[in-house]
Amino acid sequence: MSPAFTPTVAVLLVLLGVAVGAFGTLVGVGGGFLLAPVLLILYPHESPQTITAISLAVVFVNSVSGALAYGYQRRIDYRSGLVFGLAGVPGAIVGVLLVGAIPRKPFDAIFALVLFAVAAWLLLRTGRGVVSPHPHGAGAPRELVDSRGRRYAYRVRLGEGAVFGALIGILSSLLGVGGGIFQVPLMIGALGFPAAIATATSQFVLVIVSFVGTATHVLNGSFAHGHGLRRTLCLSVGVIVGAQIGARVSLSLSAQTIQRLLAIAILVVALRLGWAAAA
pLDDT at residue number 83: 94
3-class DSSP assignment, residue 133: coil
Give the contacts of 268 (CB within 8 A, at least 6 positions apart). Answer: none
Q: What is the pLDDT of residues 77-89, one digit of tens each?
A: 999 999 999 999 9
Q: What is the pLDDT of residues 186-197, one digit of tens each?
A: 888 788 888 889
Q: What is the radius of gyration, based on Cα positions, of the chain?
A: 18
Q: What is the pLDDT of residues 107-117, one digit of tens each?
A: 888 888 887 88
- Residue predicted with more confidence, 2 or 63: 63
- Residue predicted with more confidence, 265 or 279: 265
Q: Please give the angle made by the CA atoms of 197, 199 and 203, to the nearest 5 degrees.
A: 110
One-letter amino acid identity for 81? G
